[in-house]
Amino acid sequence: MRILILGGTRFLGRAVARLAVAQGHDVTCAARGVSGVVPTGARFVPVDRDDPEALVPFASAGFDAVVDVTRQVSHARHALAALADHVGHWSFVSTISVYADNTTPGQTAADAPLLSPAPPDVDAPVGPDHRWYGECKVSIERLVRELRGARPSFICRAGLIVGAEDPSDRFPYWVRRLARGGEVLAPGRPTDRVQFVDVADLADWLLHAADSRLAGTYDGIGPAMSRADLLTGVAAGLGATDARLTWIDQDFLSAHDVREWSGERALPLWVRLPEWAGLMDRDARPALDAGLTVRQLSDTVRATASWMTARPDDVRQGGLDPADEAALLKEWQAVRNA
């Protein structure tokens, strides 16, 4: 296939480009080149999508497939205006942040309620808390359906993406923490559900979708698992035999200002229940039936750990620092023994 990736200079887009090259496809990545470089073997064309006409020259290039990762409504609109009629297959990487109900487990893309589209004066997520992110993706999904019409389009609502080159502090926190071993603060209950997708599996599915002309809207997520299986699986993948998990109740953590999900003083992949019980417990069956394959957790752990070792300066440091974690563990034990 001749594939045009709108992106390709970081994480998922780069993983799609790298795998497409490895599979023998002809790969072009269009981006500014600000976020990074495209993988070896992919063609890089510098483009700034703030220019509405920037992608017009690609219309006559005869691409079989486009993969777009944008979060910006105008960028999607201009890309579709220029290219929707000229390529065989269109994949848009959306997000599970489009959903309005984060409480109910077991939902699928077919039946879950959505946020409203972004207001007309909002073009892209705003500020450090990425306000309007989900709404902008809803708007872009609508544009894809509208402007592609009956031509095949794949809307892939990714869940938490993990693996090598992860620019977030989420999965890498647990790799770093469990590699250090000792007593590890594990948030919530062992049975709490967590869910994610390996970046290489998602890349593989996007290419499979283009090749098979898959059409429709799906969640891009692997099967949910318990947090105990995640943390023991990460430790096992690292060979971290001396890591011991101490489970700490969510109310204790919240009362001590430990944050959820991501960022400074946060415990990644932890969200309060039952408010967020649907976030990491969606039904993966439609994705698996449509061709998503899921590698072993140990493979994801090893790929992430290898990248963290090879490129330490690229790894975002977040979560609890060791002294803070030790103090919380000590206080928890004191409360338990009182």
Q: Report the interface residues with ligand NAP, using CB under 6 A.
A: 7-13, 31-35, 47-50, 69, 71, 93, 95, 158, 160-161, 168
In angstroms, rounded to a whole number, what is the distance separating the alpha carbons of residues 215 and 210?
Answer: 9
Instruction: Give min distance, CB of 159 to ligand NAP, in A.
Output: 6
Nearer to ligand NAP, 35 or 108 (CB): 35
Q: Are 303 and 297 in contact (CB under 8 A)?
A: no
Dihedral through CA 169, CA 171, CA 173, CA 174, nearest 10? 170
Instruction: Give min distance, CB of 218 to ligand NAP, in A.
Output: 13
Coil, strand or helix at 52? coil
Nearer to ligand NAP, 34 or 323 (CB): 34
Contacts of 264 (CB under 8 A, 6+ apart): 318
Contacts of 33 (CB under 8 A, 6+ apart): 9, 44, 46
Give φ, ψ of 144 to 5 degrees: -60, -50
Nearer to ligand NAP, 9 or 250 (CB): 9
Residue among 225, 214, 217 at smallest CA distance from 111:
217
Nearer to ligand NAP, 94 or 325 (CB): 94
Report the amino acid identity of residue 34: V
For helices 227-238 and 171-180, what crossing angle results, to 10°?
A: 60
Instruction: Give min distance, CB of 199 to ligand NAP, in A.
Output: 8
Instruction: Give min distance, CB of 36 to ligand NAP, in A.
Output: 6
Residue among 237, 165, 222, 193 at smallest CA distance from 11:
165
Nearer to ligand NAP, 78 or 227 (CB): 78
Nearer to ligand NAP, 23 or 168 (CB): 168
Instruction: Give min distance, CB of 230 to ligand NAP, in A.
Output: 15
CA distances to 36, 70, 154 from 124, in Å: 21, 9, 21
Nearer to ligand NAP, 187 or 220 (CB): 220
Instruction: Give min distance, CB of 30 to ligand NAP, in A.
Output: 7
Instruction: Give min distance, CB of 173 to ligand NAP, in A.
Output: 13
